[in-house]
């Protein structure tokens, strides 16, 4: 069954909608360069309002391992998603600081990128086109790919059904595809979740 991750959550009103539509994961972006950036205090406050059935993912770009681990160990986030140049040495360092799950993101431009992702020691991998820019990569590259993955990049309510039907990913991850004018749109959020569930039932 394909899981659902709604990323780039920033506001209490987003949490109100999330508690009603009940995705599997939501994402807090801790990368200061992102327009969806939240700090620890905001993320912690939002998590307090969140249903216990939804897990929180912290998205980081080349952050110091101890900072990532602290947020995990405090319970501000349940999983860490590494979206920068973090390598196996970095992941090994994280293993010494926390036992919480790690997702490593890969930008997919060729089969070589998929080979690199296949061998990653993270608990999960995420396959993306870029960095939250709403682009879709060539899904044909995933033909025959065996490792379970989070699928990201350009997903929205209009194409996520096709993605599930063709690829059967472990999870689908959306951010800009459920926004209007740069803010999370309750109608699109609900439509995305409804579409996923329609295609996996």
pLDDT of residue 102: 98
What domains, with CATH codes, occur in the chain? 3-200 (3.20.20.70)
pTM given for the model: 0.95
At residue 2, what are phi and psi to the nearest 5 degrees? -70, 130
Distance CA 75, CA 85 (A): 24
Active site residue ranges? 7, 128
Q: What is the mean pLDDT of each run of 10 residues along the chain (201 residues)?
A: 97 98 98 96 98 98 98 98 97 98 96 96 94 76 94 96 95 96 97 94 59
d(CA 130, CA 132): 6
**Helices and strands, number each (H, E), in the chain:** 7, 10
User: What's the angle, vertex CA 23, arms to CA 72 and CA 13, rounded to 5?
Assistant: 85
Residue 35 burial (C-beta neighbours within 10 Å; 0-12, 13-18, 19+) = exposed
């Amino acid at each position: 069954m394909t899981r659902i991750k709604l990323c780039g959550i920033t506001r209490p009103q987003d949490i109100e909608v999330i508690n009603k539509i009940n995705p599997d994961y939501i994402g807090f972006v801790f990368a200061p360069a992102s327009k969806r950036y939240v700090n620890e205090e905001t993320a912690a406050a939002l998590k307090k309002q969140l249903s216990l059935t939804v897990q929180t993912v912290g998205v980081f770009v080349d952050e110091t391992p101890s900072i990532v681990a602290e947020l995990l160990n405090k319970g501000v986030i349940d999983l860490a998603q590494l979206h920068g140049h973090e390598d196996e040495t970095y992941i090994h360092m994280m293993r010494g600081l926390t036992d919480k799950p790690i997702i490593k993101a890969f930008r997919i431009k060729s089969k070589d990128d998929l080979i690199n992702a296949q061998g990653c020691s993270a608990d999960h991998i995420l396959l993306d086109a870029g960095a939250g820019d709403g682009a879709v990569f060539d899904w044909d590259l995933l033909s025959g790919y065996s490792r379970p993955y989070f699928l990201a990049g350009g997903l929205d309510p209009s194409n996520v059904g096709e993605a599930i039907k063709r690829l059967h990913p472990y999870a689908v991850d959306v951010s800009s595809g459920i926004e209007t004018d740069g803010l999370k749109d309750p109608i699109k959020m609900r439509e995305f979740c409804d579409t996923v569930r329609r295609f996996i039932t």
